[in-house]
Amino acid sequence: MAEPSPLPRSFQEIILRLQTYWGGQGCAVLQPYDMEVGAGTFHPATTLRALGSKAWAAAYVQPSRRPTDGRYGENPNRLQHYYQYQVLIKPSPPNLQELYLGSLRAIGLDPMIHDVRFVEDDWESPTLGAWGLGWEVWCDGMEVSQFTYFQQVGGHDCKPVSGELTYGLERLAMYVLGIDHVMDMPFNDPAAPIPLKYGDIFRQTEQEYSRHNFDAATTDMLFQHFKDAEAECERILSFAPEDPNSGKRIVMAHPAYDQCIKASHLFNLLDARGVISVTERQAYIGRVRALAKKCADAFVQTEAGGYVAEVA
Amino acid sequence: MPDLLIELFSEEIPARMQAKAREDLKKLVTDGLVTAGLTYASAGAFSTPRRLTLAIEGLTTESRPVREERKGPRTDAPVAALEGFLRSTGLTKDQLEVRDDKKAQVYFAVIEKPGRQAAEIIAEVLETAIRNFPWPKSMRWGSGSLRWVRPLQSILCLMSDETGSTIVPMEVDGIRAGNTTEGHRFMGAGRFAVSSFDDYRAKLLKNKVMLDASEREAVIWQGATNLAFAAGLELVEDRGLLAEVAGLVEWPVPLLGRINDAFLSLPPEVLQTSMKEHQKFFSARNPKTGRIEGFVTVANIEAADAGAAILKGNQKVLTARLSDAKFFWENDLREAKAGMSVWRQGLESVTFHNKLGSQAERIARIATLAAEIAPLVGADAAVAKQAAEVAKLDLRSAMVGEFPELQGLMGMYYAQAAGLPEAVAKAARDHYAPLGPSDAVPTDPVSVAVALADKIDTLTGFWAIDEKPTGSKDPFALRRAALGVIRLVLGNGVRLPLISLLSSFQVYLDKETSIVWSGFEGDDYIAWTSKSLLAFFHDRLKVFLKDQGIRHDVIDACLAMPGADDLTLLVKRATALQAFLTSEDGTNLLQGFKRANNILSQAETKDGVEYSFGADPKFAESDEERALFTALDLAEQAIAPAMKQEDFAAAMGAIAQLRAPIDAFFTAVQINTDNQIVRRNRLNLLHRIRAVCTGVADLTRVDG
């Protein structure tokens, strides 16, 4: 069993240690996806790569946006923009729990001092048509990660099964660093010449986006954008696989999926604006799910999705 | 005779599934072994978060050989018959024997199954059990196709006796059975081999695993109680939580913490629910004040710092949770004091059911009905109406949004904060009751009125839109609602004329609401719905009374009487009848009654007339006949006032007096004589017996 590491001193050190740890375990350390998403799962490196038969191992930070969670930077724990750390390994290795516990040790959480528990929590994403079984991981009664064995994504059975780990970085870091309000958390080394706290970087943006998300976002335009993204996604997928320019077989799964991500975020914004009624809500979720399914259908028709051209 | 030890070691099994899983494992394996011809002395099943274990003692080493003979078709039967027989026996034609059977030649199959080694059977049975395990939810993992509740990591399957132990060779989806396991995830010393169940259990304990869930429960309860006592508090009992927590740990270490003073103003139920639901904490109460002031969390590790870091972390999480709860509570109180109008408006946009309108519409219906029921249960109609209008407003409160199980209770607190009468507050809390069969029945008249109105509105509404329960499907819990009405009525001795109440409520629904009837028969949908609903109440009542030991035929005998829609009256009559029929006089009287009734019915059928003209004593020929006249006169005189007072026991006592005269009458008198006048008179006399007896309960429906 590895010696517990000295405690990290800042938010970014925790991220760097996770990057080093999972890189050391053989994961490709990717960069965040360049679109607005509600959770790390939406990154195509998870959603799409969990599909098909090809092996995969990736880890990355993903900035995530949940417009309804905006609290103008005042709530100690809630943010409309926050970071998730995401690990996806396919097929799930038999020692994934041990690997995960190793990552806790790497950031200074020693399970001989802390009470680490795997508590039943089944994961479901109605917008992605995805579900899996697993746990929320508790450390001293606090949920620090979500641990899921993907069973289905986009309506497709996952074969092989991917193991997915999601760390809520702010919450985890606040716990490790002993901070009570997220805005007080040191972002860089507190001994640096210019020490920056989380609040120095994000308090203002939390205020701006909270106001925007709740009051300013133009709903008519958002509704229109939702329709556009939906239509564009379907249009992209309606092209025949054969590309006349290159003469190659090119299924445009990723560009279509970008539109699905867009539609999902637009829905979240509309939800925050409070203009979607309870009954309409289900219908919108169903529309995003329909897109996710079509993108999943398309991805498994690509090489990365395990498609093998039939030899005549 | 060897013992068998099986352990299925996996990643963490959800706590709520463990108890059933260990029983399922025991049943699947022992049933499988017995079916395959093995026997065993005893079997015990255990579970921890990471393992299901089965220990079987005194297993036979091999199954008994079985010889089975089966008779087939005649030798001259069509070929198809022979082919079918060969298929079903798995034999070829030359393996069959031909024997003489009566006048024909018949094929016989002799199938001999030799005894099989226990190990071979165990391997098969265990594989089948694993592959067909009835988990409520199961999953795949890695590249495999096996399903288990979470990844299955190892299988231990070991036979042992005095001479040693052997691994039962078997493999499931690449997992080969062995004789090793692991202890505690963090405190154990890696994998180790075991040689028997005793060795297994002892080594687990050394590696910080308590195998038996009931032992873990005892340790938790004892430890938590002691901690609370030492802190001057008492632990709040919670069996469900105890079982759950015992399923979350392999080595329970209870730790006690104090709740920050800032949160002690929260209602105790809020503290308790928040701590239980989110954190799986036990609550500890101050015995002097009744306030919840402490909590006990159960860790899964003996930490070097004696749990200081664990407790600090848990305390921090609790503070965040209770800050939320306090925020909800204070906002809700403000809303309550302002009159709850925002909640009232909010419920207008919450759909109850798309054919039954919004929650606000539903509340209006319940309020109307509660006011109508109020005088029947001794409540003030205006207060009952007000209570019904307030009772469900807490559904819009932030606290109930967070903890739906606090509905009603929060309603009470908010009604009190709003300065409403105590009866209104109580009704908010109690009007959902009774929910389960063991749930207490409200007794405060206003609560009873609202509780009845709530349930009757639900039943009537779903009946009107044709969403009645069918078979095992009862998505709106209508059976529970009907049982609730029954228990409210009987528990409070309420006299509710159901038919007229249901009818007038439906007339209101028809005229004043947008509900549209469907699925009825005939034109008069209100009469049809009332009748159908009453039959549903009667069905539920039969189930309820059967559990109380009242016979089916006794209930039928009372259902046939007038006023059967008054459930209190109905049960009063049934209880008296049941007691009467278990007495000696009752049993004998029933025989006499049945005899009289049979003779009379036969005569009526034969003669095509009804003998109800009134018998005349002047045609009586014997003393016994005259005595029966006198006895009937006396009985009738006694029964009339008893029935008026609904004193069914007295009425039945009066009938019991007829037993001796009826018996004597039948011994001495022949009904069918040649003298037609005397015969008619005697038949009319029998009719009097029937009339007197069935005036109390329809004895023709009683068995025996």
pLDDT digits (tens, 9 = 90+) for B524-579: 899 999 999 999 999 999 999 998 899 999 999 999 898 899 999 999 999 999 99
Contact B569, B492 (CB under 8 A): no
Domain that holds residue B641: 577-701
B100 with B128, same domain: the answer is no
Q: What is the pLDDT of residues A234-256, one digit of tens each?
A: 999 999 999 999 999 999 999 99
Q: Which two tokens stand for residue B88?
A: 């079903």
In this prediction, residue A216 carries a pLDDT of 87
Work out the average pLDDT over B94-109.
86
Residue B568 lies inside a defined structural domain of this protein:
no
Cβ–Cβ gap B301/A133 under 8 Å: no
Q: Which two tokens stand for residue B405?
A: 């199980």
Q: What is the pLDDT of residues B630-661, one digit of tens each?
A: 999 999 999 999 999 999 999 999 998 998 99
In this prediction, residue A5 carries a pLDDT of 62
Domain stop point among B310, B337, B364? B337
B688 with B640, same domain: the answer is yes
Chain A residue numbers touching B350 (CB-CB < 8 A): 278
CA distance B622 to B246: 80
Q: What is the CATH number of the domain that holds B623?
A: 1.10.730.10
A124 pairs with which residues across the strands?
A131
Is B154 at the interface with chain A, CB within 8 A? no
Q: What is the CATH number of the domain that holds B508?
A: 1.10.3210
Work out the average pLDDT over B101-107.
85
B475 with B487, same domain: the answer is yes
The whole-angstrom distance between A2's CA and the closest CA on chain B is: 12
Among B12, B310, B349, select the one facing A140 at the smallest CB separation. B310
Residue B553 lies inside a defined structural domain of this protein:
no
Work out the average pLDDT over A266-286.
84
Ramachandran class of B17: left when φ > 0, alpha when ψ lies in -120 to 50, beta otherwise = alpha
Scan residues 179-208 of A and list those with Cβ closer than 8 Å to B: 180
What letter represents residue B183's amino acid? G
Contact A210, A80 (CB under 8 A): yes
Scan residues 94-133 of A and list those with Cβ closer than 8 Å to B: 94, 97, 111-120, 122, 132-133
Q: In the A/B pair of chains, how many CB contacts fall below 8 A?
A: 106
Share of chain B above pLDDT 70, in %: 100
B382 with B448, same domain: the answer is yes
Q: Around B454, how many Cα atoms within 13 Å sit in the side-chain half-sphere?
A: 31
Helix pair angle (A253-272, A278-299), 10° resolution:
170
Contact B525, B499 (CB under 8 A): no
Chain A residue numbers touching B304 (CB-CB < 8 A): 112-113
pLDDT band at B349 (very low <50, low <70, confident <90, very high): confident
Rg (CA), chain B: 36
Cα angle: B562, vertex B563, B565; to 5 degrees? 125
User: Among residues B156, B231, B252, which one has the least CA distance to residue B199?
Assistant: B156
Cα angle: B689, vertex B694, B695; to 5 degrees? 100
Contact B53, B47 (CB under 8 A): yes
Residue B409 lies inside a defined structural domain of this protein:
yes
pLDDT band at B425 (very low <50, low <70, confident <90, very high): very high
Residue B180 lies inside a defined structural domain of this protein:
yes
In this prediction, residue A274 carries a pLDDT of 78
Among B12, B141, B313, select the one facing A114 at the smallest CB separation. B313
B271 with B391, same domain: the answer is no
Least confident of B301-310, B414-423, B675-684: B675-684
Which tops the pLDDT comparison, B111 or A179? A179
Report phi then psi at B74, rounded to 5.
-70, 155
Rg (CA), chain A: 20
The whole-angstrom distance between A287's CA and the closest CA on chain B is: 22
The whole-angstrom distance between B202's CA and the closest CA on chain A is: 23
Number of structural domains (chain B) is: 5
Q: Which two tokens stand for residue A223?
A: 């509704």
A130 pairs with which residues across the strands?
A125
B156 pairs with which residues across the strands?
B7, B178
Residue B413 lies inside a defined structural domain of this protein:
yes
pLDDT band at A1 (very low <50, low <70, confident <90, very high): very low
B331 with B472, same domain: the answer is no
Residue B365 lies inside a defined structural domain of this protein:
yes
B154 with B259, same domain: the answer is no
B521 with B642, same domain: the answer is no
pLDDT band at B185 (very low <50, low <70, confident <90, very high): very high
Cβ–Cβ gap A91/B143 under 8 Å: yes
In this prediction, residue B651 carries a pLDDT of 92
CA distance A269 to A265: 6
pLDDT band at A3 (very low <50, low <70, confident <90, very high): low
Among A118, A119, A141, select the one facing B313 at the smallest CB separation. A141
In this prediction, residue B610 carries a pLDDT of 85
B279 with B327, same domain: the answer is yes
Residue B559 lies inside a defined structural domain of this protein:
no
Least confident of A107-111, A220-224, B472-476: B472-476
Work out the average pLDDT over A40-54.
96
Domain stop point among B206, B232, B253? B206
pLDDT band at B64 (very low <50, low <70, confident <90, very high): confident
Q: Which two tokens stand for residue B157?
A: 């399957």
In this prediction, residue B611 carries a pLDDT of 85
Residue A164 has pLDDT above 90, yes or no: yes
B289 with B374, same domain: the answer is no
Contact B410, B397 (CB under 8 A): yes
Terminal C-alpha separation, chain A:
54
Which helix or strand (DSSP H or E) is residue A147 part of?
strand A142-153
Of the residues A56, A98, A133, the best mutation for testing chain B's interface (the one with the most B CB atoms within 10 Å of its CB) is A133
B196 with B303, same domain: the answer is no
User: Among residues B188, B297, B315, B220, which one has the least CA distance to residue A112?
Assistant: B188
Domain stop point among B318, B337, B356? B337
B347 with B325, same domain: the answer is no
Residue B460 lies inside a defined structural domain of this protein:
yes
Cβ–Cβ gap B299/A115 under 8 Å: yes
CA distance B112 to B91: 11
